Structure 1
Amino acid sequence: MRLIVIGNGMAGARLVSEVRARDKEIRVTVFGAETWQPYNRVLLSNVLAGSSGPDQVRLLDPSWYGEHGVEAVLGTPVVQIDRETRTVIAEDGRRVPYDVLVLATGSSAVVPPIPGVERAIPFRTLDDCQEILAASRTSSRAVVVGGGLLGIEAARGLAGRGLPVTLLHLAGHLMERQLDAEAGLVLGETLAGLGVEIRTGVSAAEVLPEGVRLADGTLVEGDLVVLACGVRPETELAAQAGLEVRRGVVVDDELRTDDPAVFAIGECAEHDGVVYGLVAPAWEQAAVVADVITGTAKDARYRGSRMVTRLKAKSVELAAMGETHLTEEHAEVVRFSHRARGTYRKLVIREGRLVGAILLGESAAVGTLTQLFDRGGPLPGDRAGLLFPGAGGAAVADSPVRMPDSAKVCQCNNVTKGQIRACWESGARDVTAVAAATRATTGCGTCRDAVEGIVGWLCEQEGVSA
């Protein structure tokens, strides 16, 4: 069998490694439009903030392809799919036949069609990140357009480097898709305390050398302008090939398109009307496709993902999951707000189960609530104990002692405490070794403290050094 993967990002690279783990004989070629080895796009905010370098966000070692018999064609995008002859045509003219084709083309940054926008830098790729960093060294003030996840991470990263930053957002509050108005307000106040000026309910009309002019004529000064206005699934290649495309490339529960020889995964795929923009669903999809095409589990099916959004910005703790916008009219809502401390917690409960939550500010409840949301199991009657674990004898799931082996520690890679324990018992005595064996911490990275805690606890129990 000849497998071609178009896209060498987080979805494509994961698929290639999943396939090779199951089958050593399939001929695999992966095309990547970027010249970089596959990297963790989720951790680009760390690169921007200076806490990680490009080498520290790599997903695969550069030697991995050769060692595993994978042909990697980097810096060479595919420009056409010929479904009749089952061939892909690359930008350099090469034609490569396939038996199975997987589209993992991801998304591209949305660039608003306003005058002067070419002066701004999108925040999407590692090249973008390096361009922003180079510009920041000679800039006196930055403007970030877009108050979603990426925009906040970009603004916090630049502010952490000592650059005054103004964050502009069209909606009335930050991260309006994930947060309610009060949570958005508390988040904005937290960011303001970290050196980010917040302007919501404003529209950028023009990018000038001296800053951004708003629709009302106001000039927001800044000699560095960063765009984080959202992303758009890359579907042009699929559409030109005659595949069904709506918002994304339409796929079924096997992640097949309407051509049985072509699959799609990650941010370019639309499953059951949903396009997922997070890493965990992409990796779940990669595992299903790998099972199906290698025959390892021919009945493998993708049934959708329960999404947990984590903000990765220094000194800002935020997790949002599920249906956060439901009101008391449609669900049981439990909330606590302490704006002076930058704390906001909200639970949305329906039929005794957690269907949504917002946790802003440091909280030991994150692990417990993520597990309850992920499993969809019944909740204990003590709602306050869920928001404030330990206050009334409630178990703290983040504690390794009380955490059951079935508890999921790494959401991105579906790694449980039991798997980490088994890995430790097999000789992995530090986080690096555990990550190499289980992939825990290699997604969004927010589980690293929990993994370190479990490894440290295991070492302490056995009287060995970590």
Structure 2
Amino acid sequence: MRLVVIGNGMAGARLAAEVRARDKDIQITVFGAETRRTYNRVLLSNVLAGTASPEQVRLPAHAEGVTARLGVTVTAIDRASRTVRTGDGGCEPYDVLVLATGSEPVVPPIPGVTRAIAFRTMDDCDRILGVAATASSAVVIGGGLLGVEAARGLAGRGMPVTLLHPAGHLMERQLDAEAGLVLGEALAGLGVVVRTGVQVTAILDHGVELATGETLASQLVVLACGVRPVVGLAVDAGLEVARGVVVDDQMRTGDPAIYAIGECAQHDGTVYGLVAPAWEQAAVVADLITGADRTARYRGSRLVTRLKARSVELAAMGETHLTEDSAGAVEVVRFTHRARGIYRKLVIRNDRLVGAILLGESPTVGTLTQLYDRGGPLPGDRTGLLFPGLDGATPADSPVRMPDAARVCDCNNVTKGHIRACWEAGARDTAAVVAATRATTGCGSCRDAVEGLIGWLCEQEEVRT
């Protein structure tokens, strides 16, 4: 079988690895438009902040037998002959084709927008840092997840940063108004000036112009105005495309030889913009095309959004915008401590957690993520969900009380039991556990939990001996 993967990002590279792990004989060719080896795009804000180097966010090289065509774009798909044409004049045949083309930045039609730098790739990161080296200030346009990460990253380098957002509060898709306000105040304490409800009308040589006529001076302007799926190849090939490439529960398009995964795919009306669903989809496709599990199906994902910005802890999941109603069908439990940058909100329906916002230090984030993901019943006293240990009991996230089935790494579906098994098999440090399980290689937010578990296991062994 000849498998061709278009896209060498986190979805395409994972698919190649999953297929090779199941079948050593399939011929795999991966085309990547970028010349770089696959890297963790989720952690680019750490590179921007200077807390990680480009080398530190690289993902493992492709397995033996995988041909990676880096810096080579695919220009067309010929479904009749089952070949793809490439920008260097080549032609590659396939038996199975997987589209993992990802997404591209939304560039608003603002006069002078070419003076700004979109924040999406490692090359973008290099360009931003190159300008930042001599700039005295920066403006970031867009207060969604990526914009907040970019602003915090630049501020972490000691640069004055202004974050502009047209909506009434930051990250309005994931957060309610109060959480957005607390997040803005937390960022202000870290050196980011946040301005919401503002429109940029032009980007000038040395700043931006607002709809009010005001001009903000800046030598660096970064765009973080959202992304959209890259679907041009699919459209030209006559595949069904809505917002993304439409696929079924097998991640298959209308052409039985072509699949789509990751940010370019639209499953059951949803395009997922996070890494965990892409990796789940890759596993399903690998099972199907290798025959490892012909019953494998993708049924959608329950999303947990995490902010990857130094000194700002945030997790948001589910239906965060719901409010209590007169019928009592929805219960909301909320705590705010603005002076400390803390906001915690639980949204409960039928005694199940259907949404949560956890901003600032939150010792129960792991427990609440598990309750949301599994839809399990909640304890009658909601207080302990926000403030563990008030009754003198062991904190909810203590390894002692975590069941082995508790998920520690959402991106890679790694449980406490997986980590314990690796440790007992000889993986006695973080590097060894990461190599065995891939934990921490997604958004990276579980690293402290993984290291804590390993430390706890070592302590237990010392006690026994």
Q: Is the aligned partner of 1:101 residue 2:97? A: yes
SS at match of 1:463: helix
One-letter amino acid of the counterpart of residue 392, structure 1: D
Q: Is the aligned partner of 1:159 residue 2:155? A: yes
Can you list the C-alpha shifts for 1:38-60, whole angstroms capped at 9, x where unaligned? 11000000000001111111112
Does the 8 Å contact 2:7/2:31 carry over to 1?
Answer: yes
**Counterpart of 1:402?**
401
| Correspondence 1:283-362 to 2 at 5 A | 283-329=279-325, 331-362=330-361
For structure 1, the 5+ residue unaligned runs are none
Does the 8 Å contact 1:368/1:396 carry over to 2?
Answer: no
**Counterpart of 1:120?**
116
Distance in 2 between residues matched to 1:392 and 1:274, nearest whole Å: 42
Distance in 1 between residues matched to 2:303 and 2:389, nearest whole Å: 26
**Counterpart of 1:30?**
30
Does the 8 Å contact 1:398/1:450 carry over to 2?
Answer: no
Does the 8 Å contact 2:229/2:243 carry over to 1?
Answer: yes
**Counterpart of 2:225?**
229
Distance in 2 between residues matched to 1:336 and 1:161, nearest whole Å: 32
Q: Following TM superposition, by how much is the alpha carbon of 1:365 offset from its aligned partner in structure 2, in angstroms?
A: 1.0
| Correspondence 1:6-21 to 2 at 5 A | 6-21=6-21
SS at match of 1:226: strand
One-letter amino acid of the counterpart of residue 290, structure 2: T
**Counterpart of 1:45?**
45
Equivalent residues, number: 460
Q: Which moved more, 1:215-224 or 1:427-436?
A: 215-224
Q: Following TM superposition, by how much is the alpha carbon of 1:392 offset from its aligned partner in structure 2, in angstroms?
A: 2.6
Q: Is the aligned partner of 1:270 residue 2:266? A: yes
**Counterpart of 1:369?**
368
The two structures have a TM-score, normalised by structure 2, of: 0.98
SS at match of 1:312: coil
Distance in 1 between residues matched to 2:152 and 2:129, nearest whole Å: 13
Distance in 2 between residues matched to 1:438 and 1:400, nearest whole Å: 18
Distance in 2 between residues matched to 1:380 and 1:71, nearest whole Å: 52
One-letter amino acid of the counterpart of residue 341, structure 1: R
Distance in 2 between residues matched to 1:390 and 1:100, nearest whole Å: 53
Does the 8 Å contact 1:324/1:356 carry over to 2?
Answer: yes
Distance in 2 between residues matched to 1:127 and 1:136, nearest whole Å: 14
For structure 2, the 5+ residue unaligned runs are none
SS at match of 1:316: coil
One-letter amino acid of the counterpart of residue 267, structure 1: E
| Correspondence 1:67-106 to 2 at 5 A | 68-106=64-102
One-letter amino acid of the counterpart of residue 131, structure 2: A
Distance in 2 between residues matched to 1:216 and 1:268, nearest whole Å: 37
Can you list the C-alpha shifts for 1:46-84, whole angstroms capped at 9, x where unaligned? 0000011111111123xx44xx20111000110100000
Does the 8 Å contact 1:174/1:200 carry over to 2?
Answer: yes
Distance in 1 between residues matched to 2:368 and 2:394, nearest whole Å: 12
Does the 8 Å contact 1:332/1:349 carry over to 2?
Answer: yes
Q: Following TM superposition, by how much is the alpha carbon of 1:397 offset from its aligned partner in structure 2, in angstroms?
A: 3.6
Does the 8 Å contact 2:11/2:282 carry over to 1?
Answer: yes
Distance in 1 between residues matched to 2:398 and 2:127, nearest whole Å: 41
Does the 8 Å contact 2:389/2:396 carry over to 1?
Answer: no
Distance in 2 between residues matched to 1:397 and 1:4, nearest whole Å: 46
| Correspondence 1:93-242 to 2 at 5 A | 93-242=89-238
SS at match of 2:308: strand
Distance in 2 between residues matched to 1:86 and 1:18, nearest whole Å: 23
Does the 8 Å contact 1:145/1:169 carry over to 2?
Answer: yes
Q: Following TM superposition, by how much is the alpha carbon of 1:393 offset from its aligned partner in structure 2, in angstroms?
A: 4.8
Does the 8 Å contact 2:198/2:211 carry over to 1?
Answer: yes
One-letter amino acid of the counterpart of residue 7, structure 1: G
**Counterpart of 1:279?**
275
Q: Which moved more, 1:178-187 or 1:201-210?
A: 201-210
One-letter amino acid of the counterpart of residue 338, structure 2: R
SS at match of 1:232: strand
What's the % identity of the aligned pairs?
75
One-letter amino acid of the counterpart of residue 426, structure 2: G
* RMSD of aligned Cα (Å): 1.0
Q: Following TM superposition, by how much is the alpha carbon of 1:429 offset from its aligned partner in structure 2, in angstroms?
A: 0.8
SS at match of 2:356: strand
Q: Following TM superposition, by how much is the alpha carbon of 1:461 offset from its aligned partner in structure 2, in angstroms?
A: 1.3
SS at match of 2:323: coil
Does the 8 Å contact 2:320/2:356 carry over to 1?
Answer: yes
SS at match of 2:43: helix
Q: Is the aligned partner of 1:440 residue 2:439? A: yes
One-letter amino acid of the counterpart of residue 208, structure 2: V
Q: Following TM superposition, by how much is the alpha carbon of 1:460 offset from its aligned partner in structure 2, in angstroms?
A: 1.3
Q: Which moved more, 1:133-142 or 1:216-225?
A: 216-225
Does the 8 Å contact 1:386/1:394 carry over to 2?
Answer: no
SS at match of 1:345: strand
**Counterpart of 1:56?**
56
**Counterpart of 1:386?**
385
Does the 8 Å contact 2:304/2:318 carry over to 1?
Answer: yes
Does the 8 Å contact 2:22/2:290 carry over to 1?
Answer: yes
Q: Following TM superposition, by how much is the alpha carbon of 1:404 offset from its aligned partner in structure 2, in angstroms?
A: 1.0
Can you list the C-alpha shifts for 1:267-301, whole angstroms capped at 9, x where unaligned? 00000000000000000000000001100000000
One-letter amino acid of the counterpart of residue 191, structure 1: L
One-letter amino acid of the counterpart of residue 26, structure 2: I
Can you list the C-alpha shifts for 1:244-273, whole angstroms capped at 9, x where unaligned? 000000000000001110000000000000
Does the 8 Å contact 2:358/2:365 carry over to 1?
Answer: yes
Does the 8 Å contact 1:9/1:32 carry over to 2?
Answer: yes
Q: Following TM superposition, by how much is the alpha carbon of 1:462 offset from its aligned partner in structure 2, in angstroms?
A: 1.2
SS at match of 2:152: helix
Can you list the C-alpha shifts for 1:304-328, whole angstroms capped at 9, x where unaligned? 0000000011110100000001111
